[in-house]
Amino acid sequence: MISIRNIVKEYAGHRALSGVSMEIEKGKVFGLLGPNGAGKTSLIRIINQITAPDLGEVLFNGEKLNQHHIAQIGYLPEERGLYKKMEIGEQIVYLAQLKGLSQAEAKLRARKWFKKLEIESWWKKKIEELSKGMQQKAQFVATVIHEPELIILDEPFTGFDPVNAEIIKNEILELNRNGATIIFSTHRMESVEELCDSIALLNLSHKILDGKVKEIRNQFRTGTYIIEYEGQGVQVGSDAPFTALSETIADDHTQLTLRIKEGRKVNDLLHYMLPLSNISKFEEVIPTMNEIFIQAVSKQK
Amino acid sequence: MNKILLIIKREYLTRVMKKSFLMVTFLVPVLFIGMMSLVVYLAVNQGGLGDVKKVQVVDESGWFANKLQSSKTIQYSFATDYAATKKTFVKNGYDYLLYVPATMNKIQLFGESTPSVINSGKIEDELTRVARSRRLSEAHIDSAVLANAQTALTVEPKQIGENGETDANVMAKYGIGLFCAFLIYISLFLYGAQVMRGVIEEKVSRIIEVMISSVKPFQLMLGKIIGVGMVGLTQFVLWIVLTAVLSTAAGSAVGSKMAAMQQVQTAQQVPGVKTAMTANADKMEPNKVAAVIHSFESLPIAQIVLCFLFYFTFGYLLYSALFAAVGSAVDNETETQQFMLPVTMPLIFTIILSQSVIVNNPDSALSVWLSMIPFTSPIAMMIRIPFGVPPLQIAASMVLMVLGFLFTTWVAARIYRVGILMYGKKASYKELAKWFMYKE
């Protein structure tokens, strides 16, 4: 869908992107992650053709990015905004027309969306009269009304209460099921695990990590497990196939966090523990995206 | 192209539908007519709005007693005892005491407050008139002979051109030139500032990023400029139409009122007392009015209108592009000051010069140069046009104007495309230069 090849972008005196490449697959949800100032917005602006890269190129379905692609992209910027003095319905229709819809078509679709999001009665209201959540909903409609192939969402959930955030999340997933590719820029990691198929992590203008979410999490596995057993006081000898990291004792059971020694297997661990204790729970500790994020970013420093 | 039309439509409609637009559009002609009516009223009543001053006259010379004629603003009454009157005239409701000693060498005007220059001048004139007519009759000069002797000669300026002689009423040219120049000056500021505010609004409300993910910054800027320009033209057309309608209505009302007033005045005058002077004035007025109307007819009206439209349009396009660039460089309206000065400087400079140098010397080198430079020519050329400008100069000025517009818009657009995405940074001129140099 989108191939980003060796993008370099420099602003007066500082580098926003240095040689960033990535592939965004059609029909997937792609997470663009990174701390503030990593270059996410710069990259998004390049995909939106708001700015052009100094070096490198972006391909849209194998074709070099050009003005015709504008109608196929929907963009929800992090800094939301609409014309304050304009009626909301009129405004959505206007923005849809700028994306190439006819007036009649734009009106029809806007009505449909307003109904779906239960904001029909606000059609004639001016933006300044609406609550922040309402404005965000309207802006979301403006982003997707022209049924773009690619939807770019920069922190889409900020400003929504949990109920409305859930509604918007479901709308995003539905759009994705209907074939839209989604680029999702955020630093809220829990939503990444929930939504994204693959991610790229930017830090200090460099891409430091990318791939499928599952694979990345596997990459970051450290062989750490949690074992919970009844009672307490299992003495772990030096011959054990693991090293204990920490132990918490609560009432009648103990939780042991441990790391398997190199070359040993999970089965070895269980063999060792079974005769000594009555195991009630056993699981692998796979690092969360949040931990991976912090780890990757701090490693680069 | 289609997108620019959409933007123009929005910019135009949102402004025209505003209540403030309707207010301004309808109030300005009303105020204009009101002001004109006031001027006419004051002219007709000759400052009759001020109160009447009562003057007590003590004449020891015997020249003026019962001869000073009261006017609408000054009423004379006569007394004899100087010392007593001086004590009581204020108490008796008089404003001034005019004391003429027997020798007439030290005429004095007393008042509780200092008599105004205008009032003492009027009294002086009246004294002079009475004294002069007495002296003349003492010299045995007939008043009929005197009236004949008071001849006023006027020079009629004529301009010789290809079409033969034309009347060249300088006053009409002054008037029309300055009027057009001021109109352009005011509207450049008015609508330029609207463009600037529109750009700042888009920046502040943060819709700009959504907009330019759909259209190019240049399209957005141009759409806004053209949209606001059309609002300006609409407003002008409505002003002209409304003023014409209202002034026709007001004119007929005032006209009938004036006719009625004249009748009253003639009726009030005792037959035979009508002086030679007023008779003269009555005869003069229609001629003068006709002359002014005639001189307006002799102006190159079509040329003035066409040039006005041209210079208004391109002057507006040039300056509003600059205003748009200023708007893009700042985060709010208060920050615009530092950039506004250099943008508006040429305009202010020209309008000041136009009232003195250009209008008095429309063919001087300075005037010609100012009417060539695109930043100053919309104003300078409009002043010069009524006096006649060689076609070659007009053509050169227009070509330069178009080139200037293209160049400024190019520069402005380069600053604009970067500026609209910059937040929080206080832009300096160095910064603007950097933005201008960015590749894309």
Name the more confident of A159 and B233.
Answer: B233
| CB pair distance less than 8 Å for B209 and A50 | yes
In percent, how much of chain B has pLDDT > 70? 83
pLDDT at B155 over 80: no
Name the more confident of B222 and B291.
Answer: B222
**Cβ-contact A197, A212 below 8 angstroms:** yes
A299 within domain boundaries: no
Same domain, A49 and A87: yes
Q: What pLDDT shows up at residue B102? A: 84
| CB pair distance less than 8 Å for A98 and B206 | no
CA–CA gap between residue B162 and residue B390 (Å, rounded):
12
Q: Which of B6, B209, B434 shows the shortest C-beta gap to A98?
A: B6
User: Which of A167, A201, A218 lies at the terminal end of a domain, its last residue?
Assistant: A218
| CB pair distance less than 8 Å for A54 and B439 | yes
Residue among B309, B294, B292 nearest B381 (CA): B309
Strands A55-60 and A2-11: antiparallel
Same domain, A154 and A207: yes
| CB pair distance less than 8 Å for A83 and B208 | no
pLDDT at B285 over 70: no
The alpha carbon of residue A161 is apart from the nearest alpha carbon of chain B, in Å, by: 22
Task: Provide the pLDDT confidence category of residue B161 given band limits of 50, 70 and 90.
Answer: low
Q: What pLDDT shows up at residue B271? A: 45
| CB pair distance less than 8 Å for B440 and A52 | yes
Q: What pLDDT shows up at residue A206? A: 92
- Give Cβ neighbours of residue B262 (< 8 Å, ≥ 6 apart): none
**A-chain residues near B211 (CB < 8 A):** 98
Same domain, A164 and A111: yes
Q: Where in the sequence is the domain holding A179, given as residue range(s)? A: 2-218
The CATH number covering residue A240 comes to: 3.30.70
Q: Which of A12, A79, A85 shows the shortest C-beta gap to B209?
A: A79
pTM for this entry: 0.76
**Structure token pair of residue B346:** 């040429």
The alpha carbon of residue B206 is apart from the nearest alpha carbon of chain A, in Å, by: 4
Among A183-192, B62-71, B384-393, which stretch is predicted with the lowest mean pLDDT?
Answer: B62-71
**Cβ-contact A266, A285 below 8 angstroms:** no
Q: Is A172 exposed, middle or buried (0-12, 13-18, 19+ CB in 10 A)?
A: buried
| CB pair distance less than 8 Å for A83 and B212 | no
User: B2-15: per-residue pLDDT in tens?
Assistant: 899 999 999 999 99
Give the SS3 label for residue A250: strand
| CB pair distance less than 8 Å for A98 and B205 | no
Report the chain A residue with the minimal C-alpha distance to residue B6: A98
In percent, how much of chain B has pLDDT > 90? 28
**B-chain residues near A54 (CB < 8 A):** 439
Same domain, A8 and A143: yes
Say what the ipTM of the complex is.
0.83
CA–CA gap between residue B208 and residue B27 (Å, rounded):
34
Q: What pLDDT shows up at residue B326? A: 93
pLDDT at B396 over 90: yes
**Structure token pair of residue B88:** 């009581």
A277 within domain boundaries: yes
Q: What pLDDT shows up at residue B388? A: 84
Q: Is B374 exposed, middle or buried (0-12, 13-18, 19+ CB in 10 A)?
A: buried
Question: Mutate which of B6, B207, B414, B423 to disrupt the A interface (most A C-beta within 10 Å)?
Answer: B207
Same domain, A214 and A227: no
| CB pair distance less than 8 Å for B214 and A98 | yes
CA–CA gap between residue A36 and residue A207 (Å, rounded):
14
Task: Provide the pLDDT confidence category of residue B270 given band limits of 50, 70 and 90.
Answer: very low
CA–CA gap between residue A202 and residue A209 (Å, rounded):
7
Q: What pLDDT shows up at residue B437? A: 79
The CA–CA distances, whole Å, from B92 to A132, A241, B77, B87, B389 equal 75, 126, 12, 10, 64
| Cβ-based neighbour number of residue B431 at 10 Å | 17
A37 within domain boundaries: yes
Q: What pLDDT shows up at residue B224? A: 95
Superfamily for domain range B53-134: Periplasmic binding protein-like II (3.40.190.10)
User: A33-74: per-residue pLDDT in tens?
Assistant: 988 888 898 999 999 988 889 899 999 999 999 988 989 999
User: B16-31: per-residue pLDDT in tens?
Assistant: 998 889 898 888 888 8
b/e string for A94-123 if b means 16 or more Cβ within 10 A? bbbbbbbbeeeebbebbeebbeebebeebe
| B387-391 CB contacts, 8 Å cutoff, 24+ apart | B387/B173, B387/B177, B387/B362, B387/B363, B388/B159, B388/B161, B388/B300, B389/B362
Same domain, A153 and A280: no
Crossing angle (nearest 10°) for helices B377-384 and B301-329: 170
Task: Provide the pLDDT confidence category of residue B276 given band limits of 50, 70 and 90.
Answer: very low
User: B224-236: per-residue pLDDT in tens?
Assistant: 999 999 999 898 8
Same domain, A197 and A210: yes
Same domain, A106 and A11: yes
Beta bridge partners of B58: B79, B99
Same domain, A122 and A240: no
pLDDT at A201 over 60: yes
The alpha carbon of residue A51 is apart from the nearest alpha carbon of chain B, in Å, by: 7
The CA–CA distances, whole Å, from B225 to B4, B181, B212, B235 equal 11, 21, 16, 15
Alpha helices in B139-216 (DSSP H): 143-149, 170-204, 208-211
Over residues B166-174, the mean pLDDT reads 68
Q: What pLDDT shows up at residue B262? A: 58
A118 within domain boundaries: yes
The CA–CA distances, whole Å, from A39 to A143, A256, A300, B253 equal 22, 41, 15, 72
pLDDT at B374 over 80: yes
Structural domain boundaries in chain B: 53-134, 169-247+289-437
**B-chain residues near A75 (CB < 8 A):** 209-210, 213
Crossing angle (nearest 10°) for helices B217-268 and B170-204: 140
- Give Cβ neighbours of residue A31 (< 8 Å, ≥ 6 apart): A184, A185, A186, A192, A195, A196, A198, A199, A200, A213
pLDDT at B275 over 50: no
A297 within domain boundaries: no
pLDDT at A14 over 50: yes
Over residues B40-47, the mean pLDDT reads 66
Q: What pLDDT shows up at residue B284? A: 46
Same domain, A46 and A193: yes
In percent, how much of chain A has pLDDT > 70? 99
The CATH number covering residue A157 comes to: 3.40.50.300
Same domain, A110 and A171: yes
Question: Mutate which of A46, A47, A50 to disrupt the B interface (most B C-beta within 10 Å)?
Answer: A50
Report the chain B residue with the minimal C-alpha distance to residue A48: B213
User: A259-283: per-residue pLDDT in tens?
Assistant: 988 888 888 888 888 888 888 899 9
**A-chain residues near B201 (CB < 8 A):** 83-84
Q: What pLDDT shows up at residue A190? A: 80
| CB pair distance less than 8 Å for A77 and B6 | no
A300 within domain boundaries: no
State the sign of the Cα–Cα–Cα–Cα dihedral B284, B289, B295, B297: negative
How many structural domains is chain A composed of?
2
**Cβ-contact A118, A155 below 8 angstroms:** no
Same domain, A92 and A150: yes
Alpha helices in A18-85 (DSSP H): 40-47
Residue among B193, B174, B192, B171 nearest B182 (CA): B174
Report the chain B residue with the minimal C-alpha distance to residue A44: B213
